């Protein structure tokens, strides 16, 4: 297991959890137990790390996680319109995953792009100065990548 290779140093805990998140799109309870065993720590410590970081989750996420910045600067730059457009394009609300498991919509804290808002991430790809038109184009490009079909009001 990946954890066994990193377990010699406690600093390896976060990279192991990130690897599991990428692999399974969440961190299952069984994986937390295995990581705790590999690092010789209590499972509650592992859960503490998982629950602290917003990019780690015990709940399964979509293949593409769309994170929209919710800071005041992005808010002033038009975040609410982008949020509505994302919900319309994908047919789900923030905090939800599309029924096909392809997309999860989430708000996130500052992306460090305050002068280029509204900003969003799709997985690790950063998008700045997002507009109503560009957000639809961005989502459609990921829909094409995923092989999902575009319908009125969401991906399927």
| pLDDT level of residue 8 (50, 70, 90 thresholds) | low
92 shares a domain with 35: no
Least confident range from 79-83, 87-91, 139-143, 151-155: namely 151-155
Q: pLDDT exceeding 70 applies to what percent of the chain?
A: 88
124 shares a domain with 81: yes
Q: Which residue from 62, 64, 67, 52 is spatially nearest to 13, judged by alpha carbons?
A: 52
What are the counts of helices (DSSP H) followed by strands (DSSP E) for the chain? 7, 6
Q: How many domains are contained in the chain?
A: 2
71 shares a domain with 16: no
Token representation of residue 120: 């969003």
| pLDDT level of residue 152 (50, 70, 90 thresholds) | very low
114 shares a domain with 71: yes
Residues of the domain holding 140:
64-155
| pLDDT level of residue 145 (50, 70, 90 thresholds) | confident
pLDDT digits (tens, 9 = 90+) for 72-96: 999 999 999 999 999 999 999 999 9
Q: Whole-angstrom Cα distance, residue 35 to residue 10? A: 11
Give the per-residue pLDDT at 154. 57
pTM above 0.85, yes or no: no
Give the per-residue pLDDT at 37. 95
18 shares a domain with 84: no
Does any domain span residue 121? yes
Token representation of residue 126: 């950063």
151 shares a domain with 94: yes
> Residue 117 belongs to a domain with what CATH number?
3.40.30.10
User: What pairs with residue 155 in β-bridges?
Assistant: 150
Does any domain span residue 118? yes
Burial bucket for residue 65 (CB in 10 Å: 0-12, 13-18, 19+): buried
Q: pLDDT exceeding 90 applies to what percent of the chain?
A: 79
Token representation of residue 21: 């998140």
68 shares a domain with 40: no
């Amino acid at each position: 297991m990946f954890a066994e290779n990193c377990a010699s140093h406690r600093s390896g805990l976060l990279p192991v959890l990130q690897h599991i998140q990428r692999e399974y799109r969440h961190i299952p309870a069984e994986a937390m137990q295995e990581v705790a065993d590999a690092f010789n720590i209590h499972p509650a410590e592992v859960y503490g790390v998982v629950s602290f970081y917003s990019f780690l989750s015990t709940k399964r996420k979509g293949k593409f996680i769309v994170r929209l910045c919710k800071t005041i600067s992005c808010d002033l730059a038009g975040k609410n319109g982008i949020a509505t457009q994302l919900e319309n394009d994908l047919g789900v609300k923030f905090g939800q995953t599309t029924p096909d498991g392809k997309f999860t919509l989430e708000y996130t804290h500052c992306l460090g792009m305050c002068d280029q808002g509204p900003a969003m991430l799709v997985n690790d790809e950063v998008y700045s100065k997002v507009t109503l038109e560009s957000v639809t184009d961005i989502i459609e490009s990921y829909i094409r990548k995923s092989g999902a079909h575009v319908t009125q009001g969401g991906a399927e």
